[in-house]
Amino acid sequence: MAEPIIKMTGVSKWYGTFQALTDINFSVNQGDKIVVCGPSGSGKSTMIRTLNWLEAHQVGKIEVNGVELHAKMKNIDQVRMDVGMVFQHFNLFPHMTVLENLMAAPMWVRKVNRSDAEKTARTFLERVRIPEQADKYPGQLSGGQQQRVAIARSLCMNPKVMLFDEPTSALDPEMVSEVLETMIHLAREGMTMVCVTHEMGFAKAVADRVVFMDAGQIVEENDPHSFFDNPQHMRTQEFLSQILQH
Amino acid sequence: MLYADTVESETLVHKPSFVVGMLLIFTALFTLFDLTESLFGHLMRPVIGEPSEAGFLGSLSVGFLVGLLLTINVVAIGFVRFRIQVLIVWAELFILFMAFFYGFDLNFEFIRSKIWFMVSQGLVTTLYVSALSITLAAMVAIVGAVAKLSSNGFAYAIASFYTSFFRGLPLLMQVYLIYLGLPQLGYVIDAIPAGILALTLCYGAYMTEIFRAGIQSIPKGQWEASRSLGFGFGLTMKRIILPQAFPLIIPPTGNQFIAMLKDSSLVSIIGVWELMFLARTLGSKDYRHLEMLVTAALIYWAMSICLELIQSKIERHFRTKSH
Amino acid sequence: MITKRYLMGAAAASLMAIAGSAFAGEALDRVMSNNVLKVATDANWPPQSFVNENNEMDGFDVDVARAIAERLGVGIEFVTPDWGVITAGRWNGRWDISVGSMTPTKERATVLDFPAVYYYTPNSLGVHEDSTATTPSDLSGKVVGATEATTYYYYLDHSLVIDGQDINFQIDPGEIRSYPSTAPGLDDLRLGDGVRLDGIIAGFPPLVKAIEDGYPIKIVGDPLFYEPLTVAIDRGDKEFNDKLAEIIEAMHEDGTLTEISLKWFNHDFTKGY
């Protein structure tokens, strides 16, 4: 078996005296689709943000593409180029058009020439099914459209793995499905994905594994079938009963 | 505009009590000023007789007439739409203002003979010194703002020392310090560069705070999105943060520029022939200082108005561009 | 504002007193090699120096400066820094000479050299024409104006010393009001007797000029003191000093200065009193 794309070994993190992550061991292989869930404040967002080092960890080891992430590293940008990240609040660049948002990183970071960058950008807009919005500004789009642009923006960098940090939590209910469809589509094409989400339907449809976190720890990790039908842990059962009630 | 309620209240200037009060106050004021010798007094000659011998009753009736005219004017303005009101009041104040200057008994022939030089030498110098200074100050401010937001102790310390020092001294003092102090260190600096340097450093310090606030107001998510796409710090600053901060920075920077136009008059003390210097000197031979001061004042004012118009245009441009 | 400017001037002067002095021959070399004499003069002091109809420097001092440059065989250029900056010395080569009717005081002599006296002005007391004052001493206890850091000012605060003259301080003012130049003082005086000022000490020529230009002002009594006025250079350049002394001596002798004085003052002020 090949070397995992992401490997966390004994990772702990503190905010001051508050311990946000405790002894996380976790790895992602090429092609894995992993869903991370858990109650709010359980550390799942913190964990996914350590994977491209938007948050620093203090103890343990994180390797991405075989590069260890630590405070003295010189080439963090190199690592981040290959790790796509989609945020809860989209974080599109409001002063650029949709097309410019997509072309920015390829042109300025990967030094792709303008016409190639535009070609790639239009291809991915086609893939997230909003090619007609190319010349609009993010503020003119709906939330669902913005999130799809954000996904396309990451894809333009041709990442090896995509991280999703609660991508549907800030959306109006009727827009959740269009974003999930895009993500399912992406998963079916074989993209390696780590998704923090409460969308259990999505987990059942595409996940290879579901990770349940609570109080900064990984409580349970299993394939979706076992995870939903036969949760091992008390806290997992409680969480699932709450989330599946409605 | 302030919050406008949907319910309309009665127009203040149409309330009977207010109108009567206004009439009384105006009448009292103009009676005290005793306008019998003025144009109005002469117009009322049939009623009050020879203006110079009219006495208190004469000044009272002239005061009442002027007060009545003014009151009618105010009440009438109350009837028209907002924009028209603004136009009329502006025009009236402007005419009053001009009449005030006219009352100085100025020699307009003298002004006409000097105005071209005041514009071609004075205004041009004022403008180019200010424009150059604000440009350089903006550059200083970007560096200063980044340094002030930096976690590097040296950078922060230098930047905060700089802003503290140059915001803490009167600009006039800075002009002297640079013009007189630098040569003591072996670097002889001419008047104009010294003036530009002083204005740059002083305004750079103020604008550092404006730029810092502008940069800080960009949400953290923009940094995260940019960094997670592989943008380095400099690229993020240049492509993502500053372009978004500029619409926030430009309006206060415009204000700084307008303020600088006027503060640049301080460099006249080191002998730069800008507008203020000419205002002080051109009239000296013929003892026509007031002519030159009033002319320069109007030029400064006209210039500020132009710049305010340009600024509001730029602000509108940014407001329509980003949503 | 006036006080602030005065303080600033003082600060500026003390700053300049820190260091620096010209080397022998340096200024003369600079003038000859640049082929131009850079003259510091006031743009606001008619009829000695002012900006004329053609917006160029003109006046008695300016004509004297031109004559000096001509005799040096070089061109001329005028700069117009504040008077306080000129008198503070330590010019650092910014300009070569001041032809600005400067009184050679002991304090100034510590930073400047005075090659030669080129004329003498009588200085007088001016009052508003409504004033009842008949002698200068009538102004004692009143508000009297003078340009800051000038002999007029020192006359009022009784600190004036002029070599070879016994000065009789006739006025003991209640308040001395200082101005950056004579012009704003005259403008304050014209507002009315005692409105802002009761009197002003100034050169006789500018007072006469103001009266000619319609200012409601009159001159009280005889001149208070005669002031020898010199050109000044930065301290320590003997060659330049001697050269200027020689040129001005010649200008006295051949009547050039008298001619210029008659042109501007209608009097010959170049002979002393």
Q: Which residues pair with A59 in a beta bridge?
A: A12
Residues of A in contact with B227 (CB under 8 A): 54, 77, 80
Amino acid at A154: S
Q: What is the mean pLDDT of chain A?
A: 92
- Which pair of tokens denotes residue B260? 């600088």
Q: Which residues of B touch A (CB under 8 A)?
A: 219, 221-222, 224-232, 235, 239-240, 243-244, 321-323
Asked if the C121-226 domain carries CATH number 3.40.190.10, the reply is: yes
**Quick check: C36 and C75 in contact, CB under 8 A?**
yes
Mean pLDDT of chain B: 88
**Whether the predicted pLDDT of B103 surpasses 80:** no
Does residue C273 surpass a pLDDT of 60?
no
Domain ranges of chain B: 2-95, 108-322
Inspect the interface and report whether the beta carbons of B224 and A83 lie closer than 8 Å: no
Which are the contacts of A227, defined by CB distance < 8 A and separation ≥ 6? A203, A210, A212, A220, A236
Provide the Cα torsion B293, B298, B300, B303; round to 10°: -160
Q: Do C16 and B184 touch (CB under 8 A)?
A: yes
Query: Where are the domains positioned within chain C?
Result: 2-120+230-265, 121-226
CA–CA–CA angle B131, B137, B140 (5° rounding): 150
Q: Which residues pair with C119 in a beta bridge?
A: C229
Residue for token digits 């549907």? A168
Burial C75-110 (b: 16+ CB within 10 A, else e): ebebbbbbbbbbbbbbbbebbbbbbbbbbbbeebee
* Secondary structure (H, E, C), B130-166: HHHHHHHHHHHHHHHHHHHHCCCHHHHHHHHHHHHHH
Inter-chain CB proximity B181 and C15 less than 8 Å: yes
| Mean pLDDT confidence for A22-48 | 93
Alpha carbon distance, N-terminus to C-terminus of chain C:
37
State how far residue C90 is from chain B, nearest Cα, in angstroms. Answer: 9
Average pLDDT along chain C? 86
Query: Closest Cα of chain B to C50: distance in Å?
Result: 6
Q: What pLDDT, in 10s, does the model give residues C170-203? A: 999 999 999 988 888 999 999 999 999 999 999 8
pLDDT digits (tens, 9 = 90+) for B146-176: 999 988 999 999 999 999 999 999 999 999 8
For B113, nearest residue in chain C (alpha carbons): C53
Q: What is the 3-state secondary structure (H, E, C) of C217-243?
A: EEEEEEEEEEEEEEEEEECCCHHHHHH
The radius of gyration of chain C from alpha carbons, rounded to an integer in Å, stands at 18
Nearest CA in chain B to C216: B287
pLDDT value at A80 more than 80: yes
Q: State the Cα–Cα distance between residues B214 and B202, nearest whole angstrom.
A: 19
Tell me the Cα Rg of chain A. Answer: 18
pLDDT in tens, C31-62: 999 999 999 998 888 889 999 888 899 999 99
% pLDDT > 70, chain B: 98
B273 phi and psi, to 5 degrees? -80, 65
- What the block records as the tokens of B109 is 């022939």
Residue B9 pLDDT more than 70?
A: yes
Name the residue in chain B with its Cα closest to that of A87.
B225
Q: How far is B282 from chain C (nearest CA, A)?
A: 6
Contact between C92 and B183 using a beta-carbon 8 Å cutoff:
yes
pLDDT band at A246 (very low <50, low <70, confident <90, very high): low
Query: Tell me: domain B108-322, CATH 3.60.20.10, correct?
Result: no
What single letter denotes the amino acid at residue C157?
Answer: D
Architecture of domain C2-120+230-265: 3-Layer(aba) Sandwich (3.40)
Contacts of B266 in chain C (CB under 8 A): none
Give per-residue pLDDT as tens, B186-224.
888 888 999 999 999 999 999 999 999 999 999 999 999
- When mean pLDDT is compared across B10-19, B130-139, C216-225, the lowest value belongs to B10-19
Q: In this predicted structure, what is the pLDDT of residue C5?
A: 44
Cβ-contact C218, C152 below 8 angstroms:
no
In chain A, what residues touch B243 (CB-CB under 8 Å)?
Answer: 95
Average pLDDT value for residue range C216-237? 91
Segment (H or E) for C178: strand C175-179
Task: Report the pLDDT averaged over residues B84-98.
Answer: 91
**Dihedral in degrees, nearest 10, Cα atoms C92, C95, C101, C103:** 10
- The structure tokens listed for A153 are 């923006």
Q: Looking at the predicted structure, is the pLDDT value of residue A73 above 90?
A: no
d(CA C112, CA C106): 10
Cβ <8 Å between A95 and B243 = yes
Quote the ipTM score. 0.92
Query: Nearest CA to A155 among A113, A102, A229, A193?
Result: A102
Coil, helix or strand at residue B241: helix
Q: Which chain A residues touch B if contact means CB-CB below 8 Å? A: 52, 54, 77-78, 80-81, 83-85, 87, 89, 91-95, 104-105, 108-110, 137, 139-140, 150, 153-154, 157
Task: Specify the pLDDT at position C15.
Answer: 47
Closest partner CB to B188 (pick from C16, C94, C184):
C94
Q: Across chain A, how many H-helices and E-strands are there?
A: 9, 10
Q: Indicate yes or no: CB of B183 within 8 angstroms of CB of C88.
A: no
Q: Which residues of B118-145 are buried (b: 16+ CB within 10 A; e: fewer)?
A: beebbbebbbebbebbbebbbebbbebb
pLDDT digits (tens, 9 = 90+) for A85-129: 999 999 999 999 999 999 999 999 999 999 999 999 999 999 999
Q: Sign of the C-alpha dihedral, residues B190, B195, B198, B203? A: negative
- Look at residue B102 in the predicted model and tell me its pLDDT: 81
Confidence of residue C4 (pLDDT cuts 50, 70, 90): very low
CA gap B258, B252 in Å, rounded: 10
Q: Comparing A56-70, A157-171, B53-67, C234-248, which segment has the lowest mean pLDDT?
A: B53-67
Q: What is the pLDDT of residue C24?
A: 55
Nearest Cβ partner of C80 from B114, B172, B271?
B271
C17 has a pLDDT exceeding 70: no
List Cβ neighbours of B134 (8 Å cut-off, separation of 6 or more): B203, B253, B256, B257, B260
